[in-house]
Amino acid sequence: MSAKKKKTKILIFDTTLRDGEQSPGCSLTHREKLEIATQLERLNVDVIEAGFPIASPGDFRAVNDIAKTIKNASIAGLARCVKADIDSCAEALAPAKKRGRIHVFLATSAIHRKYKLRKARSEILKQAAESVKYARKFTDDVEFSPEDASRTESDFLAQIVEAVIDAGATTVNIPDTVGYSIPSEFGAVIARLYDDVPNIEQAIINVHCHNDLGLAVANSLAAIQNGARGIECTINGLGERAGNAALEEIVMAIRTRADVFSNVDTDINSERLYKISRLVSRLTGMTVQRNKAIVGANAFAHESGVHQDGMLKQRATYEIMRAEDIGKEGTELVLGKHSGRHAFKHRVEKLGIALNKNELERTYKRFIKLADKKKMIYDDDLIMIAREEMVESSRAYALEYFSVSTGTETVPTATVRLSKGSDIIQDAACGDGPIDATLKTIDRITGVQGKLLDFQVQAISMGKDAMGEVNVRVSIGDDVMSSKAASTDVVEAAAKAYLSCVNRYLFDQDAKKPVAAEKKKVVKRKKAVKKKK
C-alpha cells in the first residue's frame, strides 16, 4: 500500500494578545496575558504575537515575560519600521533566543502613502528594506507586513515583497487591514504575488484578515487555496473594529472540509478550542455570541423537531463535526459546597487555569463562600473566581466590606471599607443610586477620580442565584481602562470591577515612574555633553 501523501502544514500565528487586545473594551492584566499565552502553547499554535513592546512599559514587560515562559512556540513582537521600535522589540524578545521573531510593518497603499505617511513609493521601499536588514542583526526570524496590502497597487505590492525578501525577511504577511477584500479578489492577490515575485519561495507567505465585512475567515481560506502557508488569527475572532479571522473557525474549516483542503492541515490540538475560547471570553470580558460558529452556545444545539429526529437517527444528518472534536463535553460538572479540594483542583486544572498553591487555596475559600450563597457552581463561576484571585497580588486596594442604603424615599448612600496592605480605610458617600454611591465612596478613599464611560451587566451562569458579571470602562485622567468582576450581588461586582480599574491605573502610574526618571537622566546627560562641547 502506498504511503499517504504528506500534507503541507499551515502555520497558525495567534495575535490574540496583540491585535485581539486592541478590541474596544478588551483589557488584560499582565498575569492574564501569561495565562492565555500558556494555553495557546498547549493549543499548539506555531507563533504567539505577544504585544507591541514600545507601546508601553506594560506591553514590553508582557512580551519579555512571555518570551521567558513559553518554551515551544515562536514569540513575536510588533514594531514599526523605526529603529527605536526594533531595538525595544529585540530587547523584549531576548529571552526567547532563536524563537524570537521581530515583526515590522509599514503602510503601502496609495491612501496611506498620501494621507498618513506622506511618502513616495521609493521612500517606502527603502525604509522597509532597511528596517528588515536592521532587524536581522538581532534575529534570523524577521516578518514584514505591508499594511493595507489588499488596497495596494499590485505592481508596487510585488516590488515591496521582493525587496523585503531580498533584505532578509523570512515571512511576509499580506494583511487585509480594513477588511475590504472579498474571497475571489483576495485569493487573486496571493496568486498574483506567486506569479510576479521571483524570490517568493524564499519566504513564507502569511495573511492577516480583518472582519469588517464578515469575510475574514473566507478570505483566509481563499488565501490558503492560492498558496498562503500562514494564517494570522485570534481566539473568538477578537481584534480591532469587527475583529480578525477566528482561529477556531480556520482550523475546523480545514479539518471538516478535508475534501477541499486535502493537501494542508494544522498542528492545532482542536480538543482544546472550546476551553480556550471560554477562558479568553471570561478574561477579556468579550462575550461569545450564542450563534457563533464552532464555539457558540448554540453551535451544537438542535431545537427543531425535524432536526432532533434526524440527529437521533444519524448524527451526521445535521452535524458536520462532533462537539468532542473541539473539546466540548456533553455535560458540565457542577460543584457544590460539599465538593472537596481534590474535585475543585481537578476541575480548575481541567479548565486550563494554572494557579500556584496560595492562589488555589484562596480560590477554594472563595468557592466555598460562594457555594453558601448559591446551590450550584458552574465552570464560568470558577473561571471568574480564579481570575480575580490571579490578580490579587497586584492590587493596591481590596474591597473588605460595603453596605448600601437605597429606596424610593431614601437618598442612596454607601459605606465602603477598603484595605491597602495592613491599613483599613472606611468612608461613605451619597449618589444617584447604590452603584453610583459606592463608586463615589471608592473615589473618596483612593483619591482617584474616575469617570464611568460604559457599564454592562450580564448573568454568567444559570438560575435565579446566577453570578452577575459587571464590565466597566473607566477614564482616569488621559487613561482609559476596562475591567470586570462577578458576584451574586451586582453592586459588589460593580465595586470590584471599578476598583480593579483604579488599581490598574495606580499600577501603571508606578510603572511609568522609572521610565520617566530614566528619560530625565538621558536629557541631563545630553545637556551635559552639549555644555562640554
Threshold 0.85, pTM exceeds? no
Helix axes 183-196, 154-167, angle to 10 degrees: 50
* pLDDT tier at 403, thresholds 50, 70, 90: very high
* pLDDT tier at 523, thresholds 50, 70, 90: low
Q: Indicate if 257 and 362 belong to the same structural domain.
A: no
Whether pLDDT at 306 is above 50: no
Domains contained in the chain, number: 3
Whether pLDDT at 194 is above 70: yes
Strands of the 468-476 sheet, one edge to the other: 451-459, 468-476, 479-487
Amino acid (one-letter) located at 530 = K
Q: Indicate if 85 and 232 belong to the same structural domain.
A: yes
SS3 sequence of 291-340: CCCCCCCCCCCCCCHHHHHHHHHCHHHCCCCCHHHHCCCCCCCCECCCCC
Lowest mean pLDDT among 203-212, 254-263, 294-303, 396-405: 294-303
Q: Checking DSSP bridges between strand 468-476 and strand 451-459, what pairing results, if any? A: antiparallel
Cell of 2: 502506498
Q: What is the pLDDT of residues 448-493, one digit of tens each?
A: 999 999 898 877 666 666 778 788 889 998 888 777 787 888 999 8
Tell me the C-alpha distance between 360 and 390, whole Å: 9
Q: Indicate if 278 and 361 belong to the same structural domain.
A: no
Whether pLDDT at 347 is above 70: yes
Q: How far is CA 513 from the centre of its chain?
A: 27
493 within some domain? yes
Tell me the C-alpha distance between 114 and 111, whole Å: 5
How many Cα atoms within 13 Å fall on the side-chain side of residue 94?
8
180 within some domain? yes
Q: Checking DSSP bridges between strand 230-233 and strand 204-209, what pairing results, if any? A: parallel
How many Cα atoms within 13 Å fall on the side-chain side of residue 256?
18
Higher pLDDT, 304 or 497: 497
DSSP reduced 3-state for 368: helix
Q: Indicate if 53 and 88 belong to the same structural domain.
A: yes
Q: Indicate if 65 and 148 belong to the same structural domain.
A: yes
Whether pLDDT at 310 is above 50: no
**CATH assignment of the domain containing 111:** 3.20.20.70
How many Cα atoms within 13 Å fall on the side-chain side of residue 410?
10
What does the pLDDT read at residue 509? 78
What does the pLDDT read at residue 294? 92
DSSP reduced 3-state for 529: helix
Spatial neighbors of 507 by CB under 8 A, at least 6 apart, are: 394, 396
Whether pLDDT at 119 is above 80: yes
Whether pLDDT at 355 is above 90: no
Q: Indicate if 478 and 361 belong to the same structural domain.
A: no
At residue 19, φ and ψ (nearest 5 deg) are: -70, -35
Q: Last residue of some domain: 262, 284, 306?
A: 284
Q: Indicate if 273 and 354 belong to the same structural domain.
A: no
Q: Indicate if 384 and 452 belong to the same structural domain.
A: no
**CATH assignment of the domain containing 406:** 3.30.160.270
Are 283 and 275 in contact by the 8 Å Cβ rule? The answer is: no
Q: What is the pLDDT of residues 59-80, one digit of tens each?
A: 999 999 999 999 999 999 999 9
Mean pLDDT of 107-117: 95
Mean pLDDT of 204-230: 98
290 within some domain? no
C-beta neighbour count of 389 within 10 angstroms: 21
Q: Indicate if 63 and 144 belong to the same structural domain.
A: yes
What does the pLDDT read at residue 368? 84
353 within some domain? yes
Tell me the C-alpha distance between 168 and 239, whole Å: 29
What does the pLDDT read at residue 70? 97
468 within some domain? yes
328 within some domain? no
Whether pLDDT at 312 is above 50: no
Q: Indicate if 262 and 139 belong to the same structural domain.
A: yes
Whether pLDDT at 392 is above 70: no
Containing structural domain, residue 454: 397-515
Q: Last residue of some domain: 284, 300, 319?
A: 284
Q: Indicate if 357 and 411 belong to the same structural domain.
A: no
Whether pLDDT at 378 is above 80: no
What does the pLDDT read at residue 305? 42
128 within some domain? yes
Element (H, E) at 124: helix 121-135
Q: Last residue of some domain: 237, 253, 284?
A: 284
Q: Indicate if 345 and 250 belong to the same structural domain.
A: no
What does the pLDDT read at residue 287? 79
Amino acid (one-letter) located at 75 = I
Q: Checking DSSP bridges between strand 264-265 and strand 8-9, what pairing results, if any? A: parallel
466 within some domain? yes
* pLDDT tier at 349, thresholds 50, 70, 90: confident
* pLDDT tier at 180, thresholds 50, 70, 90: very high
